[in-house]
Structure 1
């Protein structure tokens, strides 16, 4: 079943034409529990992996936290996302590739105290061998192990919230407040940045923005994708809860916890306190330097 974000309740660009120049396209992935195949785009599903290539491991030293490994030794990375160009052509696939795979070490790392992701770009037509099940780390916590989910990519428009230029935000502050007082709709929560796990658009920051600088060209890197703990929160659900998941009566918060969780948090991830991990690449440099950042409430 497709997932459809409701149309915004107000015409953002008519109300605030100043933000129109900052609009960006995004693809909400809408993961839902399922049984994805190895040649399907998925979250937490099996990967189309070249048989001869060793499975990647993490050899980092991990900080001592509740989400740290119990002993030393290399830790196998776990599959997080697999995206084929046929499903998400908006990704900036390097020439000769049509497949993005994201894996991460499912333990806390010093940088952000979240899993450390790695990205792999591939030409799926050159992968003839479907690898057996990858090794599974031991002593891991469910918070960092995504449940297998199928995806329902949907194209939406993002307007910046935290990334709105300071001069524009200051000029619009009073009008934003007036709109919320008159209509109950918040530009920041309901009308700007799409939520959930997504490709492109703006990161769904919960703290001040942090855009990494490319180590090669010293320019700001590009937002590749966001992996969030939830599809929406207690404030934003009115515009980011898909139409197909809307209860016939009452609201999403009237559903039993287990039923709501299957919609709001299908992958079962908890990154900090309902936080997210943001992946970046530099599209100007041939070697595509990669970085990530995380934040939470």
Structure 2
């Protein structure tokens, strides 16, 4: 079933034409529990991994936390996302590739005390099907091991939240406040940046933005994708809850916890305190360097 974000309850650009220049397109992936195959775009599902290549492992030193790994040598990475160009053509695939695979080490890493992601761009025609179940390292925190989910990509428009220039934010503050007082709609929570796991658009920062610079050319990297803990939070659900998941009676808050949780957190990820991991890349350098940052509330 498709997932459809409801239209914004007000015309953002008519009310605040100043933000139109900062409009960006994003693709909400809307993961939902399922059984994806190796040739499906998925979250936490099996990957179309070349048989000739060894499975990647993490050899980092991990900080001592409640879920520190056992000292047994390199740790296998776990699949997080597999995205095919047929499903998400908005991804900037390097020439000769048509699938992006994101894996991470499911133990805390510094900085941020979150999993460390790795990216792989591949040509799917050169990959033979690997049917083995993805590894689940012993001792890993379940919060870092995504449950298998199928995806329902949806295109949406975003306007900056934390990334709105300070001078413009200050100039619009009174009008933002007036809109919220008169209608109950908050530019920051309801009208700007989409929640959830997504490609493109703006990171869903919960703290001050941290845009990494490319280690090769020193220019600011581009936002590639965001992996969030939830599809929406306790306030943003009013505009970011898909129509197909809206209860027939009452609101999402009225559902039993287990039912609400399956909609709000389908992969059962929890990154810090309802936080996210933001992945960036440099599209000017031929080797496509990437970086990540995380934050939480």
Shorter-chain TM range is over 0.9
Structure 2: gaps spanning 5 or more residues? none
* Aligned counterparts of 2:194 and 2:140: Cα–Cα separation in 1: 30
TM-score, L = length of structure 1: 0.99
Shift of 1:66: 1.2
Deviation per CA, 1:105-147, whole angstroms, max 9, x where unpaired? 0000012100000000000011134352343311111100000
**1 CA distance for matches of 2:198 and 2:269?**
15
Aligned to 1:182: 182
Does structure 2 conserve the Cα–Cα contact (< 8 Å) formed by 1:50 and 1:131? no
Residue 250 of structure 1 aligns with which residue? 250
Partner Cα separation in structure 1 for residue 132 and residue 151 of structure 2: 22
RMSD over equivalenced CA pairs, Å: 0.8
- How many residue pairs match? The answer is 297
1:37 aligns with 2:29: no
Higher mean displacement: 163-172 or 126-135: 126-135
Give 3-state SS (helix, strand or coil) of 1:115's partner. strand
Q: Which runs of 5+ in 1 are unaligned?
A: none
1:78 equivalenced with 2:78 (yes/no): yes
User: How far apart, in 1, do the equivalents of 2:185 and 2:79 lie?
Assistant: 38
| Structure 2 residue matching 1:19: 3-state secondary structure | helix
Q: Does 1:67 align with 2:63?
A: no
Partner of 1:107, secondary structure, is strand
Q: Which residue of 1 aligns with 2:279?
A: 279
- State how far apart, in whole Å, the 2-side matches of 1:194 and 1:136 are: 30
Deviation track 1:59-100 (CA, whole Å, cap 9, x = no partner) reads: 000001113213241000000000000000000000000000
Q: Give the SS at the match of 1:106.
A: strand
C-alpha displacement of 1:167: 1.1
Runs of 4+ more than 3 Å apart: none
The answer for the alignment partner of 1:93 in structure 2 is 93
2:46–2:131 contact (8 Å) kept in structure 1: no
Name 2:214's counterpart in structure 1: 214
Q: Alpha-carbon deviations, 1:217-236, whole Å to 9, x = none?
A: 11000000000000000010
